[in-house]
Amino acid sequence: LHYWYWIASEDICGWDYFRLKVDSSSPLIQDLCNPNNTGGWVEGVVDLSGFAGSSWELKFEVTTDSSGNSNFFLDDVAVQTSPAMTNIESTPVVAPAADTRSAAQPRRR
């Protein structure tokens, strides 16, 4: 699985989070909190080879409480069947804009 994401949060860790769900399992859970802000678009890669050969449902799930503002933006989600993406590292791509409303804009290529 390959995707781009942007975390922008004013909250403390432990209350808001992003979870990737494949059927009933969660191969990835990440806190949405100030120390985890990405400052721009970041590549995400998750190895789903353990689910190969079967049908499954993929969900990107965000849970927040009422304290602090937490955002998780998602773009360009793709599932690839070849191992070409196995060594991609997370790297910030775009510097944050001064106006946080621009965070909702899609990543430009």
**pLDDT tens per residue across span 23-71:** 988 998 999 989 999 999 999 999 988 888 888 999 999 999 878 889 9
Mean pLDDT of all residues belonging to the chain: 79
Quote the percentage of the chain above a pLDDT of 90.
47
Q: In angstroms, how far is CA 13 from the centroid of its own chain?
A: 16
Task: Give the list of residues 6+ apart from residue 42 with CB closer than 8 angstroms, or none.
Answer: 4, 5, 6, 7, 90, 91, 92, 93
Q: Model's pTM, two decimal places?
A: 0.67
